[in-house]
Amino acid sequence: MWARLRATTPARIALGRVGHTLPLDEVLRFQLDHARARDAVHAAFDTAALAAALAPLATIALASAAPDRATYLRRPDLGRRLAADSAAALARAVVDDPAIGGRDAVIVVGDGLSATGVQAGGAALVRALVAECAGLTLAPVVLARGARVALGDEIGAALRARVVVMVIGERPGLSVADSLGIYLTYAPRIGCPDSARNCISNIHARGGLTPGAAAATLGRLLRESLRRALSGVDLKDEGGALPSHHHRLEPPDA
């Protein structure tokens, strides 16, 4: 009977007992899943490898003001701003090639809380997004280390992009450590409220959204955002329900 019950949920039910506690194999299985999630949180984002995977798409590699992973986890405010040298480099790039400014959209890939996620699934998702953006003008893809969602605001503003599309690694769970999320923000500027964003989450290969399905949703939202010159709570996706937040105390952004 437990086999039938277990098939109804990914939850760890019917684990058995040794005395009052768990059998050792379940303890080790849990520890391995936690270890994978921890490794994903602490993995370094190899922007050069992702740039190579995205070639021939043009890319720009930048870093947030969070100098290391430990600081990044304690100081989300630093992950929302570019490091001084990255901000200067981005400004220089716009001066050197004014054509990259003022595009319809810029796609930013940030490590967020799972560099493992963007390293594994970032290239496929970006290619699907680019295909979905046919007919729109795109800035070079920005690869950002130490990124929170709002880092896209400063990048989008520097590039004078109409919309910033932030692809970011989501907080790893025990069952999925490489899930990605996409955040769309119209008229990005430093200090954009979260209510001005639209989110597509749970993009991963273990029962989550496929890159193609996520890109199709993003394409609809992006065109509607450009047409109506807004994003956030007033922009709804008619093609399917967006995940709604639950009413626990809000977890931190990715």
Partner 1 sequence: MTYACDFAGERHRFDSLAAVMACASPARSGDELAGLAAHSAAQRVAARAVLADLPLRHFLNVALVPYESDEVTRLIIDSHDAAAFAPLASMTVGDLRDWLLLPAIDCTALAAVARGLTPEMVAAVSKLMRNQDLIVVAQKVRVVTAFRNTIGLAEHLSTRLQPNHPADDPRGIAAAVLDGLIHGVGDAVIGINPASDSVPGALRLLTMLDDLRQRYAIPTQTCVLTHVTNTLEIIARGGPVDLVFQSVAGSEAANRGFGIDLALLREAHAAALDLGRGSVGRNVMYFETGQGAALSANAHHAVDQQTMEARAYAVARAFDPLLVNTVVGFIGPEYLYDGKQIIRAALEDHFCGKLLGLPMGCDVCYTNHAEADQDDMDVLMTVLTVAGCTFLICVPGNDDVMLSYQSLSYHDALTLRAMTGVRPAPEFAEWLAAMDLIAPDGSIRALGAAALVRRLDTSGLDASGLVV
242 and 200 Cβ atoms separated by less than 8 Å = yes
Neighbours of 172 (CB within 10 A): 22
- Cβ nearer to partner 1, comparing 10 with 239: 10
- Cβ nearer to partner 1, comparing 106 with 182: 182
Tell me the closest approach of the beta carbon of residue 248 to partner 1, in angstroms. 6
- Cβ nearer to partner 1, comparing 138 with 176: 176
How far is residue 47's CA from residue 59's CA, in Å, rounded to a whole number? 10
Tell me the closest approach of the beta carbon of residue 10 to partner 1, in angstroms. 5
Tell me the closest approach of the beta carbon of residue 215 to partner 1, in angstroms. 22
Residues that bind partner 1 (CB under 8 A): 1-2, 4-6, 8-15, 17, 19-22, 26, 30-31, 33-34, 37-38, 40-41, 73-77, 113, 171-177, 241, 243-252
Tell me the closest approach of the beta carbon of residue 51 to partner 1, in angstroms. 26
CA distances from 170 to 2, 6, 52, 183 (A): 32, 27, 23, 11
Backbone φ and ψ of 130, nearest 5°: -60, -40
- Cβ nearer to partner 1, comparing 84 with 241: 241
Q: What angle do CA 162, 254, 62 make, to 5 degrees?
A: 60
